């Protein structure tokens, strides 16, 4: 359903629920009001993306991908603010299958922008992991420092520390090779 229709439907339902409550039909007005809030939320957050995020948290990549694939043309179906998150979710799913191919999704998510800093940190941390796999130490170090700056709430502190330890292992391996 196009976003503008969702907004119109939500506002009409909200107006109807308020009218029902004014005329004393509280039993019908209150549930209709909550349903209108749910419809209004889907204006700001696409239901397919919400379900994909839920399945990602449950570690069910196949179902998450099914819900993301339901979004045919994300540029027209999603709000501009959601474009980065869509590419982040695609990158997270692709990173399980083919980590090197997920790099383009993470870079596109960063270029489109995301409002929450911990999502930016997650994208940069994933790019650091890809750089480590490519043995590109300088790029990995840059992404890790940017991820640490973006992770203001320290949600990814353990993962960042683990990646830095992996970078240290790469240094040790290179030193052994050059001896």
CB 49 within 8 A of CB 78: yes
Tell me, yes or no, whether 61 and 29 share the same domain: no
Tell me, yes or no, whether 25 and 68 share the same domain: no
pLDDT attached to residue 141: 92
- For residue 49, which phi and psi values (nearest 5 degrees)? -70, -40
pLDDT attached to residue 179: 60
pLDDT attached to residue 68: 93
Q: Total domain count for the chain?
A: 2
User: Which domain covers residue 75, as residue numbers?
Assistant: 45-178
The model carries a pTM of 0.79
Tell me, yes or no, whether 40 and 52 share the same domain: no
**Cα(50)–Cα(45) distance, integer angstroms:** 7
**Cα(86)–Cα(119) distance, integer angstroms:** 11
Using the structure block, give the residue that is written with the tokens 């191919």.
101
CB 19 within 8 A of CB 36: no
Tell me, yes or no, whether 39 and 62 share the same domain: no
pLDDT in tens, the chain (179 residues): 577 888 999 999 999 999 999 999 999 999 999 999 999 988 888 889 999 999 999 999 999 999 999 998 888 888 888 899 999 999 999 998 888 899 999 999 999 988 889 999 999 999 999 998 888 889 999 999 999 999 898 888 899 899 888 888 876 776 666 66
Tell me, yes or no, whether 27 and 57 share the same domain: no
């Amino acid at each position: 359903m196009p976003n503008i229709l969702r907004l119109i439907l939500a506002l009409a339902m909200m107006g109807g629920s308020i009218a029902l409550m004014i005329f004393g039909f509280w039993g019908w007005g209150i549930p209709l009001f909550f349903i209108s809030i749910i419809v209004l939320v889907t204006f700001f957050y696409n239901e397919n993306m919400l379900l994909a995020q839920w399945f990602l948290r449950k570690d069910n990549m196949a179902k998450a991908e099914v819900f993301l694939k339901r979004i045919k043309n994300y540029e027209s179906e999603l709000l501009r603010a959601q474009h980065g998150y869509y590419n982040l979710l695609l990158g997270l799913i692709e990173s399980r299958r083919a980590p090197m191919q997920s790099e383009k999704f993470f870079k596109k998510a960063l270029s489109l922008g995301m409002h929450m800093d911990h999502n930016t940190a997650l994208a940069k941390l994933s790019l650091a992991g890809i750089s480590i796999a490519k043995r590109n130490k300088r790029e990995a170090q840059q992404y890790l420092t940017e991820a640490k700056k973006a992770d203001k709430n320290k949600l990814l502190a353990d993962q960042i520390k683990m990646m830095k330890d992996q970078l240290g292992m790469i240094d040790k391996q290179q030193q052994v090779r050059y001896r």
